[in-house]
A and B are shown apart, each in its own frame.
Chain A
Amino acid sequence: MSNLNNLLDQVKSPEPSDLLKARILQQAKAQRSSKTAIKSESFKAANDNHWKRWAGLAAMAVILGVVGVNTLSPVETSPAEVWAETAQTMGYEDLYAWVEGDSAENNEGGTEIEVGNL
């Protein structure tokens, strides 16, 4: 056994290089400062405008969507309603009602119109 020990004794570990200690201390320092940086990252910086780019795009998409829907949506107002509104504005609503009512009667019942002395 002692022979084996003598043989093992002949292999000597070299001394660590002079730079190793400095290298480890430098890494330790860097780790500590990166740890501090990670801590501060958990708070949002006031000037962190990373989110604004996406918020701007989202807002733009919403506006385009609303405008598009309004432009493409069908107009529900019928021509008859437009004419009735115009006649009302101009003060001829009675005449318009008479004409419209008369024509409606013609269409529905087919009764003869009494024109009178015209």
Chain B
Amino acid sequence: MTKADPDNDLLPGLREGEESALGHLMDRHLKTVTAIGYYMLDDASLAEDVAQTTFLKLWQQAPKWESGQATILTWMRRVATNDCLDRLRKKGPIYSDHVPDQADTTKTALEELEKSDTIDAVRRALSSLPDTQRAAITLSYYQHLSQKEGAAILGQSVKAYESLLSRARKNLRAALSPWVERETI
């Protein structure tokens, strides 16, 4: 039995080309879809491009949308992930436009520096992962999807997805070993 799509209420409006329906859908999911782009591409501006492409694709496909298949959000996650994978394949390494956050005056400079170093290290470690491993971490960890859902989005069997995720975690642990060990002590 398939779960009812919580966005079904917006479907008639989307089919009719009502911009208000698209606006409501963005209120619900724009952040989620943009986050996929951000964790996959490590670039806020490119992440917004991914979100734009995804919502506009949905807008085009809405008149042909069949209820009872994948939910709207699952479909958008798949489109966004594939878009990111395409961009990564086409462009090779993507350079980040990340600007370090302003120092928080409530913390000591050393703490802030350590935190900033850690964040940079995690971002570098994520960026160094093979594309599909990065996608698996994004979907399972940052999007909180089950392995079944993640596997469906990447078009893989659950077993293959589990293996992908396991390799991704192993690689991340290796890349972040100084921080992982420090926390263990």
Contacts and interface: CB of A to CB of B under 8 A. Distances in A.
A8 B179 CA distance: 11
Given A10-B119, A24-B22, A31-B60, A17 B30 contact: no
Interface in A9-41: 10-11, 13-17, 20-21, 23-25, 27-29, 31-32
A7 interface: yes
A1 B166 CA distance: 11
A28 B22 contact: yes
Would you call the interface of chain B mostly helix, strand, loop, or mixed? Answer: helix
Nearest to B47: A13
Contact of A24 (B31, B51, B173): B51
B55 interface: yes
A11 B141 CA distance: 12
Interface residues on B, range: 35 or more
10 contacts: A1-B169, A3-B183, A4-B173, A7-B179, A11-B39, A13-B35, A14-B38, A16-B48, A20-B51, A27-B52
A10 B22 CA distance: 31
A23 to B, nearest CB: 6
Interface string B38-52: 110000100110011
A8 B180 contact: no
B75 interface: no
Contacts of B22: 24-25, 28
B23 A7 contact: no
Nearest 10 pairs of A and B residues by beta carbon:
A13-B35, A13-B38, A3-B183, A16-B34, A3-B180, A28-B59, A11-B122, A24-B55, A21-B26, A14-B44
B137 interface: yes
A24 B137 contact: no
A4 B48 contact: no
B6 to A, nearest CB: 20
B56 interface: yes
Interface string B14-34: 000101001100110011001
A4 B172 contact: yes
A77 interface: no
B93 to A, nearest CB: 18
B51 A32 contact: no
Contacts of A10: 115, 118-119, 122
Given A7-B176, A11-B122, 8 more contacts: A3-B184, A5-B141, A8-B137, A14-B38, A16-B30, A24-B22, A25-B22, A28-B59
Interface in B118-148: 118-119, 122-123, 126, 137, 141-142
A33 to B, nearest CB: 10
